[in-house]
Amino acid sequence: MSQLATEVLEAIHEVIRKHHVTYAEYDALKKWLIQVGEDGEWPLFLDVWVEHVVEDVNTAHRKGNKGTIEGPYYVPDSPVQQSPAKIDQRDDEKGEPLQFQGQVRSVDGSVLKDAKVELWHADADGYYSQYAPGLPEWNLRGTFEVDDEGRYQIGTVLPAPYQIPTDGACGKLIAAADWHAWRPAHLHVKVSAPDHELLTAQLYFPGDPHNDDDIASAVKPELVLDPKDASDGAGKVVDYDFVLDPV
Ligand code: MBD
Ligand code: FE
């Protein structure tokens, strides 16, 4: 703790010296940091601008699937269903239907028939249940048990591109720095199986203008899906296999 804290503080001191930070700037920083807390945006701030490096250093050893950051909107213990299943959604849920399916295997190719796929994502308006008013508790969230061949098949809808909140302290930083607030449309997953490392990932859609400049730096080429038109003409189907590393 002493070493990490000392080095973080030294990094800040170095920036202050290098740029001759004034008292006006120091006071603005102090006010802004306090506002991050008052706006409840520490989880957002950390997951957008810091988590990707933590993810990187902690998963570099993996031979299986690439993962990426969890982000601020995961809720554990979502309702469990046996695959194939439809994720919890409103009767009039907006958005193009998406059938998300694939197989969970170990690095050696063996099928993981006791795997679980947790899925959560924003709705077609960019809102996450439990983080926006007026949505059913588990809307577009669920835990799916794979079948005997390790396969999962989940009926959901396409998520919308996502703009991180612009009305709070993080938005103020983005405006002041002349950045943008966008993340590409994405599905969040956690894939688990006995005796395997938990995989936390996000999956993206080809052609999204923000795949190349995600504000959260969380896109990797291996995580971009290849959706096809559904054979019955309703929406998209996408196949994506997960490969987990044994512990
Ligand atoms: C999100 O939906 C998200 O996944 C991340 C990492 C940050 C903000 C909003
Ligand atoms: Fe997200």
Cα gap 74→142, rounded to integer Å = 11
Q: Do residues 235 and 99 lie in contact, with contact meaning Cβ atoms separated by under 8 Å?
A: yes
Q: Which ligand is nearest to the CA of 215?
A: 1
Ligand 1, residue 70: give the atom nearest the CA: 6
pLDDT tier for residue 167 given thresholds of 50, 70 and 90: very high
Nearby residues of 30 by Cβ (< 8 Å), 6 or more positions away: none
**Ligand 1 binding pocket mutation candidate from 163, 164, 200 (most atoms within 8 A of CB):** 164
Distance 216 CA to ligand 1 centre (A): 7
Region at 217 (left for phi over 0; alpha for psi -120 to 50; beta for the rest): left
Strands 85-86 and 141-145: unpaired
Residue 142 has, within 13 A of its CA and on its CB side, a CA count of 22
Q: Render pLDDT for 199-232 as a digit per residue (tens, 0 to 9).
A: 999 999 999 999 999 999 999 999 999 999 998 8
Distance 137 CA to ligand 1 centre (A): 18
Q: What percent of the chain has pLDDT over 90?
A: 96
Distance 178 CA to ligand 2 centre (A): 22
DSSP lists the bridge partners of residue 121 as 187
Q: Render pLDDT for 3-37 as a digit per residue (tens, 0 to 9).
A: 999 999 999 999 999 999 999 999 999 999 999 99
Among 145, 76, 150, smallest CA distance to 106 is for 150
Instruction: Say yes or no to pLDDT of 233 above 90.
Output: no
Q: What percent of the chain has pLDDT over 70?
A: 100
The pLDDT value recorded for residue 161 is: 86
Cα gap 67→133, rounded to integer Å = 30
**Model pTM score:** 0.95
Whether 159 is in the pocket of ligand 1, judged by its Cβ within 6 Å, is: no
The pLDDT value recorded for residue 162 is: 85
Mean local confidence (pLDDT), 84-106: 97
Prediction ipTM score = 0.97
Q: Do residues 169 and 32 lie in contact, with contact meaning Cβ atoms separated by under 8 Å?
A: yes
Helix (H, G, I), strand (E, B) or coil at 85: strand
**Ligand 1 binding pocket mutation candidate from 162, 200, 203, 210 (most atoms within 8 A of CB):** 162
Ligand 1, residue 202: give the atom nearest the CA: 4
Ligand 1, residue 47: give the atom nearest the CA: 6
Distance 227 CA to ligand 2 centre (A): 19
Distance 214 CA to ligand 1 centre (A): 10
